[in-house]
């Protein structure tokens, strides 16, 4: 009887945390999309400022990362697998170079999205009892990979 009550209380707390992580990931995807859209529309009003390939490809990168990150969090709940958790950490890490390289344009919006993703993936890691060192490694790997992609985009656009 007491075990059953403890299990129900733990299940309620888990579902609340699951919902919180999903909502945070969803807001991150929305911030990524709306931030990229507002930046694009603002840049489009300046006739001297080209939109392609920069900042267009970076904005596409940001929208894709927000969307993939949301789906990674969603799939992490649907299929409690470590690979979806590690993908969520990887995507979270990919936002770090966007914060740094876009410091004077999209940096603040990406920073907000990054913090929301970090909180969401921390909840996932606690929920799945994941290994923190692996999570940090995938966070850094995502950061390095996206930094490489952004440098390639910048180099090819010149």
Question: pLDDT tens across 82-94, in order?
Answer: 999 999 999 999 9
Q: Mean pLDDT for the chain? A: 91
> Following DSSP, what letter does each residue of 89-155 receive, concatenated?
HHHHHHHHHHHHHTTTTTHHHHHHHHHHHHHHHHHHHHHHT--HHHHHHHHHHHHHHHHHHHHHHHH
Tally of domains within the chain: 1
pTM of the model: 0.89
Host domain of residue 150: 2-157
């Amino acid at each position: 009887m007491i075990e059953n009550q403890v299990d129900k209380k733990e299940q309620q707390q888990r579902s609340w945390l699951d919902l919180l992580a999903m909502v945070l990931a969803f807001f991150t995807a929305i911030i990524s999309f709306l931030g990229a859209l507002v930046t694009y529309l603002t840049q489009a009003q300046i006739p001297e400022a080209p939109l392609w390939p920069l900042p267009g490809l970076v904005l596409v990168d940001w929208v894709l990362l927000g969307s993939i990150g949301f789906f990674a969090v969603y799939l992490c709940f649907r299929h409690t697998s470590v690979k979806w958790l590690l993908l969520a950490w990887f995507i979270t890490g990919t936002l770090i170079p966007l914060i740094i390289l876009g410091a004077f344009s999209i940096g603040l919006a990406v920073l907000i999205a990054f913090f929301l993703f970090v909180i969401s993936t921390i909840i996932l890691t606690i929920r799945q009892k994941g290994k923190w060192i692996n999570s940090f490694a995938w966070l850094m790997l995502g950061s390095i990979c996206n930094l490489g992609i952004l440098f390639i985009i910048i180099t090819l656009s010149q």
